[in-house]
């Protein structure tokens, strides 16, 4: 399994616990607040098969209970061109 | 547990928008091969910034020969022209754009106070440029010495002196940094404007732009400022262009005041109101100058 990384031409900022992500130069600015920001960081930090485990560790949730939601969210980020697969 | 990518109904802090604004303009410039330097706001070195807020817009200095290409690309990518070079400022140096996501961007084709030809001045800054990360995008900025010079020159255009900028960039600078700045100011032929900000303008009383910087830095009537601009112009052609501009209506300003494009009648009405305003200013100037009042 491979990882994920920020897509080329994507700007990122973090402020007051929120992650702001924007495709440049057109936008829009996407706000990843709370657990959404946790998933973003987890998605960029290792094998994509274990993203749910990293999110579970950071949030004290059970990995099996959140896996479907986490995977769907990550798929959405990829579909929007914010993340790309990192072979 | 549910998370969703939120695009609507959330507010994004201005400081975040501005950083993205810098990154967006740089990304676009890289795509189309345009040279530009980020000046002011968050692009300024922390050593010169004094922890103030990041301003209200993005400012970039563009290689003059690249301005048209950048203008066309920005319009294709959602930036709308907000004010033009002609009417954006009395110096004609900057043009403002507005983008729904990034807010305001000012494109500078030269920097007021620098008398060196704009292309050569840009090259001087470009040669010693640095790179900083803004929103994880590498953005070109002038050297710290050049940033200091630009902050002081910018302060010269403010009647309140922007004393914080002058203090941070000049008064508190090391002896070595001041020597570097002085040398750069000489290379840029910017001594008069620089002196207007540092309190040494009277050393330049004989210079053609002395009166202009005196009024810009200390205040004066609009008509006195236009006369000073005409006198400061480097040649007859430039002086005539300034003179031709002076009595015309600032259409951008009128449009923003009205909230829509002005009609021909409104432009004409504004034209006839302006001379009356100039006469009132001149009258006030005379009254101030009269002794014993």
Encode pLDDT of B66-101 as tens digits.
999 999 999 999 999 999 888 777 788 999 999 999
Strand segments, DSSP code E, in B128-272 are 130-134, 137-141
Provide the pLDDT for residue B277.
56
Answer yes or no: is pLDDT of A6 > 60. Answer: yes
- Contacts with B206 (C-beta within 8 Å, 6 or more apart), sequence order: none
| Exposure on the CB side of residue B281, measured as CA atoms within 13 A | 14
Whose tokens are 């004609």? That residue is: B92
Residue B284 pLDDT class (50, 70, 90 cuts): low
Per-residue confidence (pLDDT) for residue B271, from 0 to 100 = 55
Share of chain B above pLDDT 70, in %: 75
Q: What is the β-pairing status of strands A83-86 and A30-32? A: unpaired
pLDDT score recorded for residue B158: 82
Q: Closest by alpha carbon to B185, among B198, B168, B174?
A: B198
Contact between chains at A73 and B3 (C-beta distance less than 8 A): yes
User: Percent of chain B scored above 90 by pLDDT?
Assistant: 56
Query: Between chains, do B13 and A15 touch, taking CB under 8 Å as contact?
Result: yes
From chain A residues 27-66, the ones with a CB under 8 A of any chain B CB are 27-36, 39, 59, 61, 65-66
The answer to whether residue A81 neighbours chain B at the CB level (below 8 Å) is no
Model pLDDT, residue B244: 62
CB of B24 within 8 A of CB of A11? yes
Q: Name the burial class of residue B150, with classes exposed (0-12), middle (13-18) and buried (19+) by CB atoms within 10 angstroms of its CB.
A: buried
Shortest Cα distance from A51 to chain B (angstroms)? 14
pLDDT of A65 > 90? The answer is yes
Mean pLDDT, chain B, as a whole number? 84
Would the CB atoms of B136 and A11 count as touching at under 8 Å? yes
Per-residue b or e along B50-76, where b marks 16 or more CB atoms closer than 10 Å to that residue's CB: eeeebbebbbbbbbbebbeebbebbee
Q: Choose between B29 and B208: higher pLDDT.
A: B29
The whole-number average pLDDT for the span B48-68 is 87
Task: Read off the tokens for A85.
Answer: 């697969």
Which residue, among A6, A20, A25, would best test binding to B if mutated, counting the most B CBs under 10 Å from its CB?
A: A25
How many Cβ atoms from other residues are within 10 Å of residue B282's Cβ? 14
User: Higher model confidence: residue B115 or residue B278?
Assistant: B115
In degrees, rounded to 5, the angle at the alpha carbon of residue B74 between the alpha carbons of residues B261 and B23 is 125
**Cβ(A33)–Cβ(A18) below 8 Å:** yes
Model ipTM? Answer: 0.93
Mean of pLDDT values over B139-158? 96
If pLDDT is split at 50, 70 and 90, which confidence band does B249 have?
Answer: low
Q: Which residue of A has its CA nearest to B8?
A: A30
Region B40-60: mean pLDDT is 85
Does the pLDDT value for residue B278 go beyond 90? no
| Residue B127, pLDDT score | 98
Q: Where are the beta strands (DSSP E) in B109-244?
A: 130-134, 137-141
- Residue B286 CA to residue B266 CA, distance in Å, equals 30
Chain A residues with CB-CB distance to B100 below 8 A: 27
Tokens of B75: 């319009």
pLDDT tens digits for range B184-221: 999 999 999 999 999 999 999 999 889 889 888 887 77
* B286 pLDDT higher than 70: no
Please give the full DSSP string across B98-125, using - where no structure is assigned: EETTTEEEEEESS-TT--S-HHHHHHHH
User: A47: which DSSP letter?
Assistant: B
Contacts of B170 (CB under 8 A, 6+ apart): B148, B152, B178, B181, B197, B198
* CA B268 from centre of chain: 29
Is the pLDDT confidence value at B178 over 60?
yes
A8 touches chain B (CB under 8 A): no
- Chain B residues with CB inside 8 Å of A73's CB? 3-5
Q: Which residue has the higher pLDDT, B142 or B55?
A: B142
Among B1, B10, B28, select the one facing A25 at the smallest CB separation: B28
Pairing of strands A10-15, B80-83: unpaired
State both tokens at B167. Answer: 């203090």
Helix ranges (DSSP H) in chain B: 14-32, 67-76, 85-88, 118-127, 144-155, 163-166, 175-187, 191-198, 210-218, 222-232, 236-245, 251-258, 264-289
pLDDT the model gives residue B10: 63
CB contact under 8 A, A11 and B20: yes
Tell me how close the Cα of A31 comes to any Cα of chain B, in angstroms: 6
Give the pLDDT confidence score for residue A26 in this predicted structure: 96
pLDDT of residue B160: 67
| Chosen from A5, A16, A22, A34 to mutate, greatest number of chain B CBs within 10 A | A22
Q: Which residues contact B130 (CB under 8 A, 6 or more apart)?
A: B140, B141, B142, B143, B144
> How far, in whole angstroms, is CA B265 from its chain's centroid?
31
DSSP string of B76-94, one letter each residue: HTT-EEEE-HHHHSTT--E
Substitution target from A5, A10, A11, A19 for chain B, most B beta carbons within 10 A:
A11
Q: Name every chain B residue with its beta carbon within 8 A of the beta carbon of A58.
A: none
Instruction: Work out the minimum CA distance from B263 to partner chain A, whole angstroms.
Output: 32
**Weakest-pLDDT range from B109-113, B171-175, B185-189, B242-246:** B242-246
pTM (2 d.p.): 0.82
Q: Which two tokens stand for residue B22?
A: 């810098």
The confidence score (pLDDT) of residue B231 equals: 72
């Amino acid at each position: 399994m491979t990882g994920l990384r920020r897509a080329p031409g994507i700007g990122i900022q973090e402020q007051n616990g929120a992650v702001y992500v924007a495709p440049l130069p057109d936008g829009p600015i996407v706000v990843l607040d709370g657990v959404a920001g946790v998933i973003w960081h987890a998605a960029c930090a290792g094998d994509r098969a274990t993203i749910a485990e990293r999110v579970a560790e950071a949030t004290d949730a059970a990995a099996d209970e959140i896996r479907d939601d986490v995977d769907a969210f990550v798929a959405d980020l990829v579909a929007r061109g914010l993340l790309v697969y990192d072979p | 547990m549910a998370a969703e990518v939120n695009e609507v109904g959330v507010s994004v802090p201005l400081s975040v928008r501005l950083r993205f604004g810098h990154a967006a303009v740089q990304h676009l410039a890289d795509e189309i091969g345009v040279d530009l330097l980020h000046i002011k706001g968050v692009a300024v070195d922390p050593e010169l910034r004094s922890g103030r807020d990041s301003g209200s817009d993005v400012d970039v200095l563009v290689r003059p020969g690249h301005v048209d290409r950048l203008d066309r690309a920005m319009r294709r990518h959602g930036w709308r022209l907000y004010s033009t070079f002609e009417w954006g400022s009395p110096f004609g140096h900057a043009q403002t754009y507005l983008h729904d996501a990034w807010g305001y961007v000012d494109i500078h084709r030269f920097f007021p106070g620098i008398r060196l030809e704009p292309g050569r001045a840009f090259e001087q800054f470009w040669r010693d440029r640095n790179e900083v990360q803004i929103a994880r995008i590498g953005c070109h900025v002038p050297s710290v010495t050049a940033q200091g010079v630009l902050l002081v020159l910018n302060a010269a255009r403010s009647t309140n002196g922007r004393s914080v900028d002058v203090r941070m960039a000049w008064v508190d600078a090391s002896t070595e940094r001041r020597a570097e700045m002085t040398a750069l100011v000489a290379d840029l032929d910017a001594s008069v404007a620089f002196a207007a900000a540092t309190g040494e303008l009277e050393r330049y009383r004989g210079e053609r732009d002395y009166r202009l910087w005196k009024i810009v830095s200390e205040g004066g009537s609009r008509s006195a400022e236009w006369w000073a601009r005409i006198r400061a112009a480097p040649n007859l052609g430039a002086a005539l262009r300034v003179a031709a501009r002076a009595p015309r209506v600032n259409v951008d300003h009128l449009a923003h005041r009205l909230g829509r494009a002005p009609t021909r009648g409104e432009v004409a009405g504004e034209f006839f109101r302006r001379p009356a305003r100039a006469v009132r200013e001149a009258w006030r100037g005379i009254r101030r100058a009269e002794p014993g009042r």
